[in-house]
Amino acid sequence: MKKRIWNIYTIVAISLLIRVLYLNHHDFWFDEAFSWFVASKNFKSIIIASVADNHPPLYYLILHLWMDVFGNSEVALRSLSLVFGLLSVPVFYKLAKTFNEKLSLFATLLFSISPLAVYYSAETRMYSLFLLLTLCSVYVWIKLLTKINKFRALAFIITLTASIYTHYLSFLLFIPFFYTAFRNFSYKFTNIYFAFFDRFSKKLQK
């Protein structure tokens, strides 16, 4: 158990090193400048301006608060995405573990060094946050299917709502969520039905 924990720490450390080294690898481009422009406004103006970008306002609101603390240099702006990208690594591990515990560490290592994940961890856009929230909502949803409780239901609602307010593609998540919910609960309903039918048949035979 301790060895596995240290392995996770090692993967996170590798992820951090790669992302820090890549942070200034490419020039600050138009979309990133637009993120800075929108986030520089007050909250009301951010919500209005985000419509022009065809993206929800959550990322810009968080970036606005981040800029108040860390400034608006290129490194400061991109480091927010770095934080989201880094947080995605342990969440991905937890998610991978639900499918295959033996391969979860290797899968997490591959994810941590994925060129696309690294790239979006060094860009002043919402995609790194979108990835984090998507992973969180999927993980919580899987746990919710195994055992329903108020905490998991609330966590699922929060993460999915936050994901929707980060990127509109989050609406596509409803497709697998509805499908798995239907399969899971229809399967349970079928088992209950056959159990009831079996008992009812035995009573008729008496």
| Contact between residue 45 and residue 144 where contact means Cβ atoms under 8 Å apart | no
Q: What percent of the chain has pLDDT over 70?
A: 89
* Cβ within 8 Å of residue 139, ≥6 positions away: 91, 94, 95, 98
- For residue 124, what are its two tokens? 């002043």
Report the chain's mean pLDDT, rounded to a whole number: 88
Instruction: Give the pLDDT confidence of 162-198 residue by residue, as tens digits.
Output: 999 999 999 999 898 888 888 777 655 555 445 545 5
pTM of the prediction?
A: 0.87
- pLDDT one-digit tens code per residue, 10-53: 999 999 999 999 988 888 999 999 999 999 999 999 988 877 77
Q: For residues 51 and 94, is the Cβ–Cβ distance under 8 A?
A: no
Residue recorded with tokens 């991905």: 92
Closest CA to 98 of 43, 141, 40: 141
Model pLDDT, residue 191:
52
